[in-house]
Structure 1
Amino acid sequence: MSRVTRLKHVQRELDSDDFSLPTEKQQICRIISSKGNNLHEVESPNEIEENYLVSMPPKFRKNVWIKRGDFVLVEPIEEGDKVKAEICRILTPEHQKEFEKAFVWPKRFTKKRDHESDIKENSDSDDDDLPQNPNRRQNYRADTSSSEESDQED
């Protein structure tokens, strides 16, 4: 099979509306970073488990690109010590919506939780701590009326 034909089949598989739910062995994970050599570090949906490495199968290599923050469906493998799973499917926002409707999406990855944590982080930070931008012009308006009134009172 030529490279173009293989790419066409992989793209067709990704674009298909296959919203089948994950099996018992499969997990939804979030990509944290790319470690090179088709290995990616993922964050598991369980807070108890630590981050681990997953491998990208040959059919996705050089055909599909994933970046930090993307969600993938992984299936565990037994033969590896460092690499603990293999990517089965790359999830799109449509998958996320369907999985949330079916109550399969992990609570750790919900947008509402991410939004709430962003609000808490923003409320804790003070805008007064930021230095002023030296590239902006400082326009000060002196209130002449208030200074004149204080002079007249004396």
Structure 2
Amino acid sequence: MLFYFDSFNPWLVAVGLNTVLLAIAWLAPKKLLTQAGYLHAWVLGVIVWGTLSWQGYLVVMFYFLVGSGITRIGMVQKEAAGIAEKRSGTRGPENVWGSALAGTICALGTLLLGTPYQQLLLLGYVASFATKLSDTTASEVGKAYGKRTFLITTLEPVARGTEGAVSLEGTLAG
């Protein structure tokens, strides 16, 4: 069925699909995004579908859904320790673009640059989301279940949740 969409203008499909998904997400009881986050995610979704079709969209949706789920791992422990993501993991515009800006630039580059760069930009797109998902996984698992955490620059022991801290548990998960 997704291949059927390829016969339509990708930008019209992008607007329609993202509008429907935004409406569904807006009505869902559990919010994954703030109000502004929904708008920014809609823009991101339109750009990604418009430039990379369903294949690129699948990558960003996988990142978003899995990353949102991973953020909720050990939420009770992280909130009790005061190291949980703000808003209990609900994403805002800063999270949308913090995660997706590099990939979005690669996606837009596929329109602007010639064929010789196409594969490299696609690799950059996928790599940006893979790297971000790995980082999110390592960070969230480390904050929830890390036994001993160390500052990556000096290797001195620090408390869980310290910026730049790593743990064996988080590193293996990521």
TM-score band w.r.t. shorter chain:
under 0.3
Q: Choose between structure 1 and 2: higher helix proportion.
A: 2
Select the structure that is richer in strand. Answer: 1
TM-score if structure 2 supplies the norm length?
0.24
Which is greater in Rg? 1
